[in-house]
Amino acid sequence: GAVVSQHPSRVICKSGTSVKIECRSLDFQATTMFWYRQFPKKSLMLMATSNEGSKATYEQGVEKDKFLINHASLTLSTLTVTSAHPEDSSFYICSARPDRVNYGYTFGSGTRLTVV
């Protein structure tokens, strides 16, 4: 149990366009989901915490207007990269934890975004 599905796995888009990435918890409900960005040869950077039914909490230095997060249901959070630029190219990973005690975090398989 505790599977997180992330889609798409790869996407290539043109500069100036927007891209939406979906993160779904398949067999559990998640009040909170997390979005990370992974740079080459570097660790995971937490971008924001997605809260069901309320606004996301962004980490310092992350542009809220560029990285729009929507957590409309207990099983779905979306990250939209707006007006994408080549420097937004990266590997984005979502994570969630079942609302049950002592259950660990589960990660999606990631989305490789390339902006050309």
Partner 1 sequence: GNSVTQMEGPVTLSEEAFLTINCTYTATGYPSLFWYVQYPGEGLQLLLKATKADDKGSNKGFEATYRKETTSFHLEKGSVQVSDSAVYFCALIVTQGGSEKLVFGKGMKLTVNP
Q: Rule CB under 8 A: say whether 58 interacts with partner 1.
A: no
Instruction: Show the 3-state SS of the chain.
Output: CCCEEEECCEEEECCCCCEEEEEEECCCCCCEEEEEEECCCCCEEEEEEEECCCCCEECCCCCCCCEEEEEEECCEEEEEECCCCHHHCEEEEEEECCCCCCCCCEECCCEEEEEC
Contact residue for partner 1 among 6, 25, 50, 90 (CB under 8 A):
6
Q: Rule CB under 8 A: say whether 93 interacts with partner 1.
A: yes
Looking at 14-22, 64-72, 73-81, 90-98, which segment touches partner 1 (CB under 8 A)?
Answer: 90-98
| Positions in the binding site for partner 1 (CB under 8 A) | 4, 6, 32, 34, 41-44, 46, 49, 57, 93, 95, 97, 102, 104-110, 112
